[in-house]
Amino acid sequence: MPDTDVLLQIASAAAEKGDFAHARRCYEQGADLGDFMCLHALGYMHDVGEGMPEDKALAMKIYRRAWRLGSHASATNIAILYREQGRIRLMFRWYQRVAAAGDGSAHFEMAKCYLTGSGVRKNPKAALRCLAVAVRSQYISEYEREEAQALLMELSPRLV
């Protein structure tokens, strides 16, 4: 039985070299073994058309399978696909799912939704709560953390 970590490494190296067909075969083999990281990577290839025609519907199907196996990144990409489709309420619900799993980036996205009323009613206090969680999370990029901190500092005095 192949080691899915090795498949991921081989696939990643192949993709870096532009050999998307080889990368795809490795990801598919890992996906067949139930590896959510391989599934996520395969979904991404379909999502952006990396080495194949773009297929958002298939990407969504693969991302959902990866999410059921534990991929929070896939759930985030599902939210993004819904945003691209203009299905903002579904986008927000998917960010909620990822946030419930402790993802700081998802809390930051939810805060922006609460501030703009995208997919949810405007709620600056809920935005503040989401921002506070986001800045404390270890699952957020440094860039997003800085943006969340700036928003938090900007909003806090207005709401106190």
Buried b (16+ CB within 10 A) or exposed e, 82-95: bbeeeebebbbebb
159: pLDDT confidence band, cut at 50, 70 and 90? low
Q: Assign 156 a pLDDT band (cuts: 50, 70, 90).
A: confident
CATH 3.40.1440 fits 1-70, yes or no: no
Q: Give the pTM.
A: 0.91
Enumerate the domain spans of the chain: 1-70, 88-160
pLDDT in tens, 53-73: 999 999 999 999 999 999 999
What's the angle, vertex CA 53, arms to CA 6 and CA 16, rounded to 5? Answer: 35
pLDDT in tens, 81-103: 999 999 999 999 999 999 999 99
